[in-house]
Amino acid sequence: MAVLMSPLHAALNTDVFFRHMVGNMRNGVLAIARDGSIVLVNSEACRLFDLPNDGSIPGQPFRTVLSNQPDVVRVLGGAFEMATLPNRAELRLTSTNTAIGYTLSLVRNDDGYPVGAALLFKDLTEVEEMEERERLRDRLAAVGEMAAVVAHEIKNPLAGIQVLAGLLKRKAPQHPEMQSLVSDILSEAKMANSIVQEVLAFVRPVRLQVARTSLSEAVASALSLANSGTPRGAIDVNVEIPADLPLIGSDHHQLTQVFTNLLINAFHALDGRGHVDITARLAHTADEGALQPDGRHLTPTVVIDVADDGPGMRPEIAEKIFNPFFTTKQQGSGLGLAIVRKIVDAHEGRIDVTSAEGRGTRFRVTLPVDPPPRVEPAEFRKTRQV
């Protein structure tokens, strides 16, 4: 056997040890014998393949047990025929749409004869989500950099137009027609200027004034800002934030901006009627949603949901909403959610969206109670300051 052990430990009951080891592995393990029966399956494999974890699976044919995972059946089915077995390959489980990374190896006896095959695999959902966030960061940085340059270059000629139009206006006080034309030029220039300012505000690095902040207060400020900025109509807003939620290390104003933008979007989506629910809770474990900022340690985390029962979004829309300048609105600049994301990132938090057409939209903001110290969000460090 190609497993090396100390003589002392080899004398112990290694079978039990191996069983515990495989059972508790964080990778999924499923092994079959040559006749196609399952020899062993561990808890992670049961979770991923959605199988009962009660010991009823071993002994059964893998083709029957995994009938709703045709790709896995195909991989296992080829184990004894393939010249080279897949190593670090990926496939997507059809039942749950989960990506897994897997390695298939033959189980050989002491004579080298293959008596079975073992599939080792890992849930790639988190890796995929992380890659997606990285891609988005890169995209944001690239778009931001370009927008900064364009806005900066437009700023000067625009100021020139405003000054010259002002001069023209003063030069011809007796020409009412000309006065009105020049006023139009000035108001258009003012509009262009406010777009430039908005873009510049977006591309500027987020600088946080971190202090112990009450989430309830930030949400209350956001609600009154959203109420004054958008006609709310008969929309019912319900806020449920536990009184004992800890204060979070964050920038009150920027946090308020996050919830203001989310609320305004919800009000737009609801178009005068429906519900918005804002709820918050504390999370300590990964299952509850706690963050792992350094990839190892869980940190106490506040999870805030802003959910509406509006029209929701199609998946092809939902995947673009955090892109700067993506909007489906006539009057939208498409920067609202890009700014939200930038602020959440600066707090070392996360924002996720769950939405389905006709079933409303839920934004989940996840923030560490104590964000690790950080000078500037990495994705904007390179951005030119204007």
Ligand X SMILES: Nc1ncnc2c1ncn2[C@@H]1O[C@H](COP(=O)(O)OP(=O)(O)OP(=O)(O)O)[C@@H](O)[C@H]1O
Cross-strand partners of 32: 38, 117
In Å, what is the CA distance from 371 to each residue of 166, 215, 247, 302, 381?
49, 15, 12, 11, 18
- The span from the CA of 20 to the CA of 25, in Å, is 8
Q: Which residue of this chain has its Cβ atom nearest to ligand X in the complex? A: 336
Scanning 1-9, 49-57, 239-247, 325-333 for contacts with ligand X by CB under 6 A, the matching segment is 325-333
Q: Measure the CA–CA gap between 13 and 8, rounded to whole angstroms.
A: 11
Closer CB to ligand X, residue 266 or residue 290?
266
**Four-CA torsion 276, 280, 286, 292, nearest 10 degrees:** 100
* Angstrom distance (rounded) from CA 319 to CA 317: 5
Q: Tell me the closest approach of the beta carbon of residue 142 to Mg ion, in angstroms.
A: 22
Nearest-approach distance from CB 118 to ligand X, in angstroms: 46
CA-based angle 186:189:195, to the nearest 5?
A: 145
* Residue whose tokens read 């014998």: 33
The partner in contact with residue 250, picked from ligand X, Mg ion, none with C-beta cut-offs of 5 to 8 angstroms by kind, is none
Number of chain residues interacting with Mg ion (CB under 5 A): 2
The C-alpha atoms of residue 337 and residue 325 are separated, in whole angstroms, by 9
Instruction: For Mg ion, give the closer residue by CB, 165 or 258.
Output: 258
d(CA 185, CA 174): 18
Does 249 sit near Mg ion (CB under 5 A)? no
Residue 112: how many other CB atoms lie within 10 Å: 7
- Counting contacts by CB under 6 A, is residue 327 touching ligand X? yes
Pick the binder of ligand X from 207, 329, 359, 384 (CB under 6 A). Answer: 329
Q: Does 266 bind ligand X (CB under 6 A)?
A: yes
326 binds ligand X (CB under 6 A): yes
CB of 334 vs Mg ion, minimal distance in Å = 8
Pick the binder of Mg ion from 144, 274, 310, 336 (CB under 5 A): 336
The residue (of 42 and 355) whose beta carbon lies closer to ligand X is 355
Rounded to the nearest 10°, the torsion over CA 214, 215, 221, 225 is: 160
| 265 near ligand X, judged by CB under 6 A | yes
Residues 11 to 50: which contact ligand X by CB under 6 A?
Answer: none
| Nearest residue (beta carbon) to Mg ion | 336
Counting contacts by CB under 5 A, is residue 371 touching Mg ion?
Answer: no
333 near ligand X (CB under 6 A):
yes
Q: Tokens 């020409």 belong to which residue?
A: 175
Q: Does 310 bind Mg ion (CB under 5 A)?
A: no
- Of residues 173 through 202, those in contact with ligand X by CB under 6 A are none
DSSP letter, residue 232: -
Q: What is the DSSP letter of 208?
A: -
Contact 302, 366 (CB under 8 A): yes
Nearest of 100, 101, 118 to residue 50 by alpha carbon: 100
User: Please, how many CA atoms are within 13 Å of residue 204, restricted to the half-sphere of its CB?
Assistant: 11
Residue 257 interacts with Mg ion (CB under 5 A): yes or no = no
Closest approach of ligand X to the CB of residue 86, in Å:
40
Task: Give whichever of 145 and 198 is closer to Mg ion, judged by the CB atom.
Answer: 198
Q: Does 361 bind Mg ion (CB under 5 A)?
A: no
308 binds, among ligand X, Mg ion, none (CB under 5 to 8 A by kind): ligand X
User: Contact residues for Mg ion (CB under 5 A)?
Assistant: 265, 336
User: Contact residues for ligand X (CB under 6 A)?
Assistant: 261, 265-266, 269, 308, 310, 313, 317, 321, 326-329, 332-338, 361
